Structure 1
Amino acid sequence: MATLNIKDPRVHELATELARRRGTTATAVVRDALEKELDETPVPIDIKKIEALQQRARELNLAWYSDEDLYDEDGLPK
């Protein structure tokens, strides 16, 4: 079981008060607050990783095929 030790008395006080008002536990209000914050915080974009993937795709020289490339005049696969 993982533990989180909150050493800031104000944070403990706020979590306890909110839990009391909601009729739940401090753990639940902290979890809810963290989940809400994560939902509202965008995942950072790793530009270098995207550029590396784009370069790799260029190196692979991926070809895009049209329907004419893949199927004959009767619509059957070539």
Structure 2
Amino acid sequence: DNGVGVPDQMRKKIFQPFLTGKSKNTNWGMGLFYTNRIVRQHFGRLKMESRVGEGSTFMILLPALQDEKVKEP
């Protein structure tokens, strides 16, 4: 992310819907909400590292596939 970073008081709210630091005319604030929702549905975690004034990095962590055979549809 090449934004301005996420201040400490916003970190707990960052994955809530309609939260944006940009103009509401061009950004709905739904991207991180939906990303986090999809990742959690796959038993994963969305991790954020952020420095105010420098930007943020978001990492998607998903569990490894077990040795079980994947069933073909």
TM-score, with normalisation over the residues of structure 1?
A: 0.23
Name the structure where helix makes up a greater proportion of residues.
Answer: 1
Q: Which structure would you say has the larger Rg?
A: 1
Q: Which structure is richer in relative contact order (CA contacts within 8 A, separation 6 or more)?
A: 2
Name the structure where strand makes up a greater proportion of residues.
Answer: 2
